[in-house]
Amino acid sequence: MAQMLAARGYADIVLIDIVDGLPQGKALDIAEGGPWLRFSSTLTGSNDWADTAGSDLVVVTSGVPRRPGMTREDLLGTNAKIVRDVVGKAAAHSPDATLVIFANPMDAMCHVALEASGFPAERVIGQGGMLDTGRFRTFIAMETGTSVKDVSAWVLGGHTEATMVPVTSNASVGGVPLSRLLPPDRVRAVAERARRGGAEIVELLKTGSAFVAPAAATIEMVDSILLDERRILPCCVRLNGEYGVNGAYVGAPIRLGAGGAQAVYEIPLSDEELEGMRKAGDAVKELVAATPRE
């Protein structure tokens, strides 16, 4: 993320971590690529939150991955504690910032960040739908033998295999409905592959998970916020009745610009997709209820 943003050339970047030397070394390594990648962005590595003061945007990547023997409750408790601490410090030093939440389980961590920051909900946004949509569009292009540039498709709902809602009902390539390009069984197969996109990469790598696509998806959000591009993007936001979901962070199409989520849009969905959105909302609420408060 830091490297991609540095290459954009419009922002000063601070990397922060609790490990002494790690953010400093990462920042220096990226900066030393500037002469050849043709950017002169200022990068700072630090262990002191004071160096982040006055930030316009904070991307929260903190947390641990789920390890063997770790229950969902263990992961929730550990990452909630970390995110609560990180967001509290970020908000104290940058009270006008917008937060982009990348920590997992992302949907629930958005709720933790909202509470810890005290920010309005439009300034706390989750990244999930962006990555899942990127995967969905990639798989549609592969399956149809077309350019990914012409694919229009969304993944809404939650950021888990069980709660993702790949929207096939209005997916298209160059304006041609996906249902005209693929038979129903292949459409379902592409949607299922999108749901398992993260697991597929983990199975291939065996010792890690995806990082390039998640970074690219996140920096698209950063661009839209900091440059006030007002793009309509699939992000995780707190819904207030949209799609039948109230008071839960769920992926939906939003207008993303200065100050965060400027509007939430309800697009036509099939009955099955709409039910998926409601189930995603219920699942997030269940996860939030299980998240330790301290």
User: Angle, nearest 10°, between helix axes 184-195 and 197-205?
Assistant: 60
Task: Single out the residue of 161, 138, 114 nearest to residue 216, CA to CA.
Answer: 138
Six-digit token string for 72? 């969902």
Q: Catalytic one among 159, 195, 238, 285?
A: 159
Structure tokens at 204: 């291939």
**Contact present, 113 and 124 (Cβ < 8 Å):** yes
Give dist(CA 267, CA 242) in Å, integer. 10
Contact by Cβ (8 Å): 81, 39: no
Q: List beta partners, residue 101.
A: 60, 126
Which two tokens mark 244?
């039948």
3-state secondary structure of 234: strand
Q: Which two tokens mark 246?
A: 């109230």
Phi, psi dihedral angles at 33 (to 5 degrees) = -85, -10
**159 labelled catalytic:** yes
CA-to-CA separations, 17 to 47, 52, 104, 211, 244, in angstroms, rounded: 5, 12, 17, 18, 39
What are the residue numbers of the active site? 159
